[in-house]
Amino acid sequence: MRDVMPDIDRWLQEGEQIALATVVQTWGSSPRAAGAKMALTLSGGMSGSVSGGCVEGATFEEGVEALKLGRAKLVHFGVADETAWEVGLACGGSIDVFVQPLNATLYARYRELLLAEKTFAAATFIKGSAEQVGQTFIVEDGGGLETGGQKVTEAAVQAARTALTQGHSTRVPLESGELFIEVVWPSPTLVVVGGVHTTIALTTLAKTLGFRTVVIDPRAAFGSEARFPHVDQLIQEWPDDALRQIGINRATAIAMLTHDPKLDDPGLLVALRSEAFYVGALGSKNTQEKRRARLRAEGLTEEQLNRLRGPIGLDLGGRTPEEVALAILAEIVAARHHHLIPGERAAR
């Protein structure tokens, strides 16, 4: 939603009628994941993408029809359909897209939670009675519920809470219909401890991929604004104190790059006990074993120690700061999309 919000906000100010198309499931070769969105207007405005270009035209037509009829609709595009070649899915993938007129009240709450970097679930009935299809409600991490005045069953709310706890978007069949539950996370954040040269390249690459970037280093010569004018936050404090301040959540990745136990170890004691989806530390295999022994002596469990990625980064064979940064970010992206085997060790 973040990519289409500026256009939706502008269209709302201009009084446009807006439809929202959301990918609710994919099969095979599909360029966009569930939750990807495209917004459109009756006057021809279009923002975002549900397929990287393959079915945008057909989705736009469905959106216009939804606005004219005031009715939501679940649409399937697939290679088995007679329209597959027309809409461009001959690559072998198929997708379900849900198209609905925008609910301005619920969009306002969705937008507020998104900008506040909150975790929440937006649940929409994609199948059910004519009255029910298109109904959306929002469940917040922490218990809040926004229905926009619509009546929502306890079973539907519980399904959304379960998806939020499990942490991934899903389709859920209910007796009364079917829900698409989109779990929305805060913007991914990369926290780097150590203002070394690799950190400059790493934070630059991370911002290109949409990460919020934070650099922590109490040493003025390393953690200076002159070295890191591009990062979102620069903290010149000891790593353990700084990590406790920034609010680590399940969208946070932490990379320890100082190669100094006085800085890395206190930070790792906080990071490995946190919700961060990724924690990695620079150093050879021998360095890692010594580090694990020290952390074990400080009270970390084996389960917590096994969360540590070290040596940090995928084994891409590179050695320059820029190549090491790429290897680290590649491992972070893989971890974010659950493409790393638990306990797997890098070969570097």
* Cα 105-12-61 angle, rounded to 5 deg: 95
pLDDT at 109: 93
- Does position 346 have pLDDT exceeding 70, yes or no? no
The mean pLDDT of 157-162, rounded to a whole number, is 94
Q: Across all residues in the chain, what is the average pLDDT?
A: 88
DSSP annotation of 167: T
The mean pLDDT of 34-50, rounded to a whole number, is 92
Question: What does the block give as tokens for 260?
Answer: 């100094």
Alpha helices per DSSP H over 209-300: 239-246, 261-271, 285-297
CA distance 310 to 319: 16
| 290 vs 84: which has the higher pLDDT | 290
pLDDT tens-digit map of 165-210: 888 899 999 988 999 999 998 889 999 999 999 999 999 999 999 8
The mean pLDDT of 257-284, rounded to a whole number, is 93
Whether 172 contacts 159, CB under 8 Å:
yes
The mean pLDDT of 306-324, rounded to a whole number, is 91
CA distance 10 to 5: 9
Question: What does the block give as tokens for 196?
Answer: 């070394």
The mean pLDDT of 221-241, rounded to a whole number, is 92
CA distance 108 to 51: 25
What domains are there in the chain, each with its CATH number? 5-101 (no CATH), 104-184 (no CATH), 189-336 (3.40.50.720)
pLDDT at 167: 82
- Does position 82 have pLDDT exceeding 70, yes or no? no
pLDDT at 50: 85
Q: Residues for the chain: how many in total?
A: 348
pLDDT tens-digit map of 96-116: 999 999 999 999 999 999 998
- Does position 83 have pLDDT exceeding 80, yes or no? no
The CB density around residue 112, as the number of other CB atoms within 10 Å, is 12
pLDDT at 332: 96
pLDDT at 310: 87
pLDDT tens-digit map of 329-345: 999 999 988 765 444 44
pLDDT at 81: 47
Whole-structure pTM value: 0.73
pLDDT at 149: 81
| 286 vs 52: which has the higher pLDDT | 286
DSSP annotation of 185: P
pLDDT at 78: 73
Residues 6+ away with beta carbon under 8 Å from 278: 252, 253, 254, 255, 309, 331, 332, 335, 336
User: Residue 229: is it exposed, middle or buried by C-beta count within 10 angstroms (0-12/13-18/19+)?
Assistant: exposed
Judged by DSSP in three states, 187 sits in coil
